[in-house]
Every structure is written in C-alpha cells, then in structure tokens.
C-alpha cells in the first residue's frame, strides 16, 4: 500500500511539473493533473490537501533539496578553501557550479519566472508561506556559507548585505540559466556576477 501511495505521489509531482512547464502555474488544473497522472482526484488531494499550491511546493522542495545535496557533494568547495584561493576565484567556482547544476531545470524555472511577472503578489504570498518547507532559504544560503568559511571578507558586512547579494546576483543568474548566453557565454556572465558582488560590498 505504501508503495502504491509513493508511486501515486511521484506521478502527481512529475505530471504537475510537466504541465507547469507547458502551460504555466496559473493554468494548472487539478482535474487534468489527476487524469494525466492516472490517479483519482481524491488521491491527489490526499497527498496535496491544498491542491496545486502544495504540488508546486513539493516540486520546489525536491529541486531545492537536490540542488543543495549536489552542491554540497562537490569536493571542490573544501579543496578551494584548503588551497587558500582568492575570494574572486572562489566566487567564480561557485557561480559556475550553480549554473551547471541549475540549467537542466531551466524550462521549469522559466515557467515560474513567467508566473512571477504575471502574478507577483500571488507568488510572493506563496514564497512567504512555503519558503521554510521548500528549503528556499537553505538554497540561497549555500553561497553565504562558502563565503563565511573562506574568512576573506567581514562576516558582519556579508550579513548586512546578504539579501541584496542574493536578490541581485540571483536575478541575473536566473536569466543566464534560463536564456543561455543572455549576458554572453557563461564565463562572461561569471565575470559580470563577480564584479556585481564586489560592487555591492563596497563601503
């Protein structure tokens, strides 16, 4: 029975993601998700009581957890810190790795980005309500964790401007991930992102 429930939930999540990529979150229809996933509407609501908002939360949670796990598995982080590399070299490695790990999801990210532009208030409410369960804060904290370990900049300054760094660099990075070569090739973009980072940290 548990196996059946697990398969049903997985089918709903996979179907939800495909339909979001195809139609967008606003057009996501619960009846269609259930039909395509080959489960009953009752089964769908059993796993996701609040309907499509819970489905989106689950998709984002899985993607975020997978990203953080993949990022933390990279032995390069500890090696970079052990080699006492300069901060700009560490940043280049981190930004390059984020792009590499996120780009396979660019169609889903594009759909969510479109939703943010079309319904910014609805999306902000979603983030406020579900950010702890989806691990959004954890994902955004990966870069800060690496920088804190590097001990190459003031911790207080990093904390003070962390939100600005995350929002601005994150926004630029999302465009480069969704639209490859938007700012030139990835190496060109990484150079740009590093410059933006240091501009934000200026006194």
**Which of residues 25, 49, 73 is at a domain's end?**
49
* 30-35 contacts, C-beta under 8 A, 24 or more apart: none
pLDDT digit string (tens) for the chain, length 203 residues: 444 668 999 999 999 999 999 988 888 999 999 999 999 999 999 999 989 889 988 888 888 777 767 766 665 556 666 666 677 887 888 888 888 888 888 888 888 877 777 777 766 666 665 554 444 455 556 666 666 666 666 667 767 777 787 778 878 888 888 888 889 999 999 999 999 888 887 77
The phi, psi pair for 51, rounded to 5°, reads 75, -135
* Domain membership of residue 179 as a residue range: 53-201
Residues 83 and 40 in one domain: no
Residues 41 and 61 in one domain: no
- The label of the residue with tokens 């934000």 reads 200
Residues 44 and 61 in one domain: no
CATH, residue 43: 1.10.10.60
Residues 75 and 41 in one domain: no
How many domains does the chain contain in total? 2
Q: Is 169 exposed, middle or buried (0-12, 13-18, 19+ CB in 10 A)?
A: buried
Residues 20 and 112 in one domain: no
Residues 7 and 86 in one domain: no
pTM over 0.75: no
> What gap in Å lies between CA 189 and CA 103, rounded to an integer?
14
Residues 143 and 177 in one domain: yes
């Amino acid at each position: 029975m548990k196996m059946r429930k697990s398969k049903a939930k997985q089918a709903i999540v996979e179907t939800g993601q495909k339909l979001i990529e195809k139609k967008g979150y606003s057009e996501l229809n619960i009846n269609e998700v259930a039909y395509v996933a080959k489960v009953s509407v009752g089964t769908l609501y059993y796993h996701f009581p609040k309907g499509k908002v819970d489905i989106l939360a689950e998709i984002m949670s899985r993607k975020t957890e997978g990203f953080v796990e993949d990022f933390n598995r990279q032995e390069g982080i500890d090696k970079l810190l052990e080699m006492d590399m300069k901060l700009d070299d560490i940043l280049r490695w981190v930004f390059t790795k984020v792009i590499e790990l996120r780009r396979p999801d660019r169609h889903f990210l594009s759909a969510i980005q479109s939703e943010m532009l079309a319904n910014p208030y609805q999306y902000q409410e979603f983030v406020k309500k579900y950010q702890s369960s989806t691990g959004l804060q954890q994902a955004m904290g990966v870069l800060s964790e690496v920088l804190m370990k590097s001990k190459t900049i003031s911790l207080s300054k990093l904390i003070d401007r962390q939100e600005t760094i995350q929002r601005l660099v994150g926004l630029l990075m999302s465009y480069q991930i969704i639209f490859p070569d938007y700012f030139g090739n990835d190496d060109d973009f990484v150079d740009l992102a590093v410059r933006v980072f240091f501009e934000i940290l200026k006194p």
